[in-house]
Structure 1
């Protein structure tokens, strides 16, 4: 079966680096690839990807050499389930979140040297994603419930997520402590009077003093200004988020496109994946040098709900040349005549 086609701006190329159920550098790539991030690794880098399946979810990693060739692939988290999204930390670890009742956050080593550890103080609930705010030394957390909340975790020591305080955003714009993050008798979202609720908290990403997060129930992109405590709904139909090293925010769209958020918060489509109409785009992340963008089609061309046809892509090109220039990337529709041939892994 054809892997589909990508509509890209001129100067960009694409390849598939992994497919669910197939070997990549000796590792069988996981089903339903979801949240992801890149980490520096000497002259190369590592791409980490979650697996959003029951019981056998976890996360895997691919190590790349400086020329983009695959060196190795390996598991960094096993024995967990429905690992949907997550977030990278400034100290180069991956926070993998379980989207289950009383799910946990696991802190993983993308380099594969240390075992993953649960971070229980960050709360037991149906986790969405995590985004580190190094300016205020907190971690924002979303909750995928119809009446989910936006949380922030304040560690006792920045860089160590073992102990700390879990807080929830309230309708008045202030943050209040969650009395029992373990949620043994009452869900965290119901413990604080005045907590603000959102329909299905999804991905989140911190950049430039703002925590951006999505809501799956209402299909929205939100922006929480951590300086002014202002919360604003930016637009509809956004799935996952990442930012380029040059600062631009890239978002996945329900139309199987990835777009760039302009300074006036419009979205300029950047690429479009055709032939994967029953899937969704997940896990966008840039290599540390900003020359490569990784993302996955979680259910691939077949749309299999178990994620057995997941595709993980790499797009390479002059991203920096398009930075800060709304419309400079063209659009996926304008690029429809420049359909890239996708090379297989």
Structure 2
């Protein structure tokens, strides 16, 4: 019996299991169900209009169109996907700009010292369009993905260097990316109503300039086994990559993507689902589906996703109640935070600093409802690690 089935049987028999979060994540049955938050109920809105559990605080890090405090750099419009990188005793947070090239599309970074204070900010990518989500690599680059027809993945260098297009990773409506150092591949989502889920297999791990683009092949159900097939023409023209392989599985609006412990999770906004691929045995299932929740689902408008070192998943809402929800390793879902009075925005860019005690995220359009009104926040508190 494999570990996943063993853990499932143990939990069903005992009701609980005294194992670590990292082991439990990916080991229990899905989909997640509503439950009280392990952090307790939300408190009243703070000065930034954010409702948080007791013991957590928020601060504004940057606002679109305004100089980042402590620097001379003006923060970009429509902040979207993001990630954190260790930088000595401090860290760097990267963020995409989901606007056209003319309006400042691309990506930026903010550098923090060990106390979490801003020490620098700058552009790391310019002249691109609708940079939505992306993902970090083990070699400390940020993959910024263009969410446009025949969009590209751009490899950017938060620590310095010139961004490079990576066309071998496919030309399609890119959304997010997640690197898998065990299999030495990068997973990719596609934001189309009939989008596909891909992986890129570099010729040399650590070099994304050449390799093979593959697409997930599976049945039409919500669980089962899967395999990979090579996409004949990653350029996507004249035939879109999603239409090139017979039997490739369709997903309704691919969004965020996260890899950890032989598992990759990704979200689909068209049906409010979180999918889970179990890479050790090549099976897939639902980690969350709002139609399968008993009672009123707390999570709708699924979008960006990230994970903590404990094994909790944090899922941002595009719409819904403007919340970040968390799915625990024992498949319970609850609200972690809610942003008040920003119903014309979306939450995105969730990422933990290396120590795991600060969560960065953005409200893409803030209180104004405009791309020029984006706000990037930091939440500090006793996160489970």
What TM-score do you get using the length of structure 1 for normalisation? 0.89
Compute the displacement of 1:3 (Å): 7.3
User: Does residue 39 in structure 1 map to residue 85 in structure 2?
Assistant: yes
Distance 1:301 1:219 in 2: 24
For residues 55-134 of structure 1, what are the structure 2 equivalents within 5 Å? 55=101, 56-111=104-159, 113-134=160-181
Unaligned runs of 5+ in 1: 324-345
User: Does residue 50 in structure 1 map to residue 96 in structure 2?
Assistant: yes
User: Does residue 263 in structure 1 map to residue 329 in structure 2?
Assistant: yes
Distance 2:235 2:373 in 1: 36
Distance 2:80 2:47 in 1: 18
Indicate the residue corresponding to 1:165 in structure 2. Answer: 212
User: Does residue 309 in structure 1 map to residue 355 in structure 2?
Assistant: no
Contact 1:39/1:287 (8 A) holds in 2? yes
Count of residue pairs brought into register by the alignment: 317
Distance 2:48 2:56 in 1: 16
For residues 1-345 of structure 1, what are the structure 2 equivalents within 5 Å? 4-24=48-68, 25-55=71-101, 56-111=104-159, 113-172=160-219, 173-235=226-288, 236=290, 237=300, 238-253=302-317, 254-304=320-370, 307-320=371-384, 323=385
Tell me the secondary structure at the aligned position of residue 170 of structure 1: strand
Measured on the aligned residues, the alpha-carbon RMSD in Å equals 1.4
Tell me the secondary structure at the aligned position of residue 28 of structure 1: coil
**Residues 101-158 of structure 1: CA distance to partner in whole angstroms, max 9, x if unpaired?**
10000000011x2000011110000001000111111110011111110000011111
What TM-score do you get using the length of structure 2 for normalisation? 0.80
Tell me the secondary structure at the aligned position of residue 218 of structure 2: coil
Compute the displacement of 1:175 (Å): 0.5
Higher relative contact order (CA 8 A, sep 6+): 1
Distance 2:358 2:218 in 1: 39
Contact 1:4/1:276 (8 A) holds in 2? no
Unaligned runs of 5+ in 2: 1-45, 220-225, 291-299
Higher strand share: 1
Segments ≥4 residues shifted beyond 6 Å: none
